[in-house]
Structure 1
């Protein structure tokens, strides 16, 4: 069997650097300084953060090194030009794929915090060695850990959408197996469409098998098929949807449109796979049976479910447990507020989503100042649980049946919420971050 060659060749950063460790980074050549600027930008891009944060990091390094930088940033690539008094140096850098890693994002934020005071003492090569350590850092969790995190998150998600214990248990097994399969495929570098389609099909199949066993062995009603879609909600691309919206708000049009297009690709493949699997097993996206729970008890249960849902999603983004716990606390307040605004105050779903995201962003800004966790590592997991994956699936399902009227209603609801979530975070950022609200 022939070896598969990489389509994106590895950049050997150390081979570009000629200065020894006695030369501080501030006195290195433009080309060597540019390797630091470009590599930091590429690493920030690889962990899932938006173009505004990537450019901000590249600019900070450039200022410390005494050069200027102009960068054009997309989802997977950066074209940047570094300029000093006499020369310019342009580089085009790209990633093979994208993902989310909030642990590495935190490490890079700490690197950026300490960079100004170390730029005059450490060499370019020594900085690259620090970046090597960050880049080679292994994931915090194995495939089975991520499967369990997905199972917990989707189980909680099922309750928040209106499902009962039977749907929650079936979604727990379905999502757990689905994300476990997806992680194994990602470890083998399987492409986007392949890993999404196979993992969603696996999660849906496990849900079907579980509910059929429950029907035959425990005489569970077929009405519990309604929770079928909840087993695949672990693939909903919350990070690119949210960061794409933030990029558009900062007029980073290329990055914003590419991120939203990437999210739409995943949603389309996932929902079409779920729809095809439902057709195969003759499942239909029926409504959940109403839960006979008093208002006070429901609020408490929603608080608990929101915490575990956000906690599980945060672990899936490779967040350390302390960070995931913090995001869970933020999410349990923001998401419960959103749900109660809809149920008790009669707010439209879009406005409730905006207010929930706004509160999440404001709280995360306070927490960042106190603890130091990256804001986006707290806000995105906290509002991913608000992304209307169920609405998206039902819209695609009805469209597939040529029922355009019902499909359009569900897709319209989904679009309103998806638009409101990043707008809520942007509004919170404008209120709490003076650097973000200026366009200079």
Structure 2
């Protein structure tokens, strides 16, 4: 009875993919009927969409599979849904609409899917539909690489490094380590129980802020530290930054996938809005203020040398949060250790505007990711997004909402403008890198 009730309350019904396979499951996929072949094309697109990649890559994968099955495919792709039509050589068509219950990011499954698509593309399709679905079953049922406590530690490492890159010192870094670790652990446990996304964001931010406040008060009691160090609580909540939808929205809009791009942008803005509003409310409740960080007594050379390992740790931590294998996460970390210090040095040494510096940082990350892609075939998006997530101005976004909440409209608008310029320039850098290095992405035919 309990199992039946649980299934009854599933809002999104699961699709029995194997029921589309003909009774004679030894028939080659190319010789199957239109409905069965269309189901394979749709499943490939839906699995790619579930990994968090953009509409262009989803459509490209569907097209490759469709061509191998002697079909023509036209797809309209959003954030969690897609509608597509497959047409066979006889002019018959079959249309389907598919959707996901939620959105997320899984770079490990994305890598497995891209390898599967490349294998299909390079060989004659001597597989039956049953064999194709079995391969897709293996990928879909692949478990996550990390336990909740490991994902919590990854967020702790990333946010700890993030705070240093923003100008914080050891006290802020320690508080952020504790707050972000507990906050992301809470979020992961809630996601594992299929709690709705915005509730996960709100509760995890609350936990992160409370954990930072408690650890700060304890350090203040034991070591009599200055109250100015309380500003580090912002870093404890930066693990909720929606880097993937932010960046893929820009890439989709650049390729005229407006539906997907705008839906992803709206999704990212909703997450940021909820996170910053909850953070603002918690700050008022526990009397925390986003003041400037206490200046560190470091030389320009010391800053530069410390920014390299901090950038590596930040990107590595975010990559682990996206379920990247350790090797992929380390490579993304190395890319970030080049691109992010370059961005910061352009601001500090050359006095370049932060938005323009973000463009060059993202461009560098995109070019390095393209080089790694040609050598190791890791998906570019799995390397570029983690390496530039630490460039997303989460601090600016929070300060904008904080000041707007206090009716300081002019100050809030200033922070909104600063954040918007950087957010716009980040995907532009990746777009230019893709145009320069990816012949297939460069054209629109």
TM-score interval, smaller chain: over 0.9
Native 8 Å contact 1:171 1:231 kept in 2: yes
Residues 281-320 of structure 1 mapped to structure 2, 5 A cutoff: 281-320=286-325
Residues 284-363 of structure 1 mapped to structure 2, 5 A cutoff: 284-363=289-368
- Residue 34 of structure 1 pairs with residue 11 of structure 2: no
Native 8 Å contact 1:65 1:119 kept in 2: no
Kindly provide the CA deviation profile for residues 315-335 of structure 1, in whole angstroms up to 9, marking residues without a partner as x: 000000000000000001000
Structure 2 equivalent of residue 98 of structure 1: 103
Between 25-34 and 146-155, the greater mean CA deviation after superposition: 25-34
Native 8 Å contact 1:21 1:122 kept in 2: no
Q: What displacement does 1:119 show? A: 4.8
Structure 2 equivalent of residue 173 of structure 1: 178
Residues 118-133 of structure 1 mapped to structure 2, 5 A cutoff: 118-133=123-138
- Residue 229 of structure 1 pairs with residue 241 of structure 2: no
- Residue 80 of structure 1 pairs with residue 115 of structure 2: no
TM-score normalised by length of structure 1: 0.99
Once residues 310 and 45 of structure 2 are traced to their aligned partners in structure 1, the CA distance between those partners, rounded to angstroms, is 37
Once residues 301 and 330 of structure 1 are traced to their aligned partners in structure 2, the CA distance between those partners, rounded to angstroms, is 16
5+ residue gaps, structure 2? none
Once residues 341 and 373 of structure 1 are traced to their aligned partners in structure 2, the CA distance between those partners, rounded to angstroms, is 29
Once residues 193 and 349 of structure 2 are traced to their aligned partners in structure 1, the CA distance between those partners, rounded to angstroms, is 47
Structure 2 equivalent of residue 217 of structure 1: 222
Once residues 440 and 375 of structure 2 are traced to their aligned partners in structure 1, the CA distance between those partners, rounded to angstroms, is 19
- Residue 405 of structure 1 pairs with residue 410 of structure 2: yes
Structure 1 equivalent of residue 61 of structure 2: 57
- Residue 153 of structure 1 pairs with residue 182 of structure 2: no
Q: What displacement does 1:292 show? A: 1.1
Q: Secondary structure at the match of 1:91?
A: strand
Once residues 197 and 136 of structure 2 are traced to their aligned partners in structure 1, the CA distance between those partners, rounded to angstroms, is 27
Structure 1 equivalent of residue 270 of structure 2: 265
Native 8 Å contact 2:250 2:428 kept in 1: yes
Between 317-326 and 20-29, the greater mean CA deviation after superposition: 20-29
Once residues 256 and 198 of structure 1 are traced to their aligned partners in structure 2, the CA distance between those partners, rounded to angstroms, is 27
1:5 pairs, out of 4, 9, 21, with 9
5+ residue gaps, structure 1? none
Native 8 Å contact 1:42 1:78 kept in 2: yes
Once residues 24 and 210 of structure 2 are traced to their aligned partners in structure 1, the CA distance between those partners, rounded to angstroms, is 58
- Residue 24 of structure 1 pairs with residue 40 of structure 2: no
Native 8 Å contact 1:24 1:119 kept in 2: no
Q: What displacement does 1:24 show? A: 1.2
Once residues 19 and 330 of structure 1 are traced to their aligned partners in structure 2, the CA distance between those partners, rounded to angstroms, is 50
Once residues 290 and 116 of structure 1 are traced to their aligned partners in structure 2, the CA distance between those partners, rounded to angstroms, is 55
2:72 pairs, out of 68, 71, 74, with 68
Kindly provide the CA deviation profile for residues 370-420 of structure 1, in whole angstroms up to 9, marking residues without a partner as x: 011101000000000100000000000000000000000111100000000
2:199 pairs, out of 191, 194, 197, with 194
Q: Secondary structure at the match of 1:439?
A: coil
Kindly provide the CA deviation profile for residues 249-276 of structure 1, in whole angstroms up to 9, marking residues without a partner as x: 0000000000000000000000000000
Once residues 368 and 156 of structure 2 are traced to their aligned partners in structure 1, the CA distance between those partners, rounded to angstroms, is 27
Once residues 234 and 262 of structure 1 are traced to their aligned partners in structure 2, the CA distance between those partners, rounded to angstroms, is 16
Native 8 Å contact 2:70 2:89 kept in 1: no
- Residue 89 of structure 1 pairs with residue 91 of structure 2: no
Once residues 378 and 124 of structure 1 are traced to their aligned partners in structure 2, the CA distance between those partners, rounded to angstroms, is 32
Q: Secondary structure at the match of 1:363?
A: helix
Native 8 Å contact 2:156 2:179 kept in 1: yes
Q: Aligned pair count?
A: 440
RMSD: 1.0
- Residue 111 of structure 1 pairs with residue 116 of structure 2: yes
Once residues 379 and 396 of structure 2 are traced to their aligned partners in structure 1, the CA distance between those partners, rounded to angstroms, is 30
Between 172-181 and 220-229, the greater mean CA deviation after superposition: 220-229
Once residues 342 and 156 of structure 1 are traced to their aligned partners in structure 2, the CA distance between those partners, rounded to angstroms, is 19
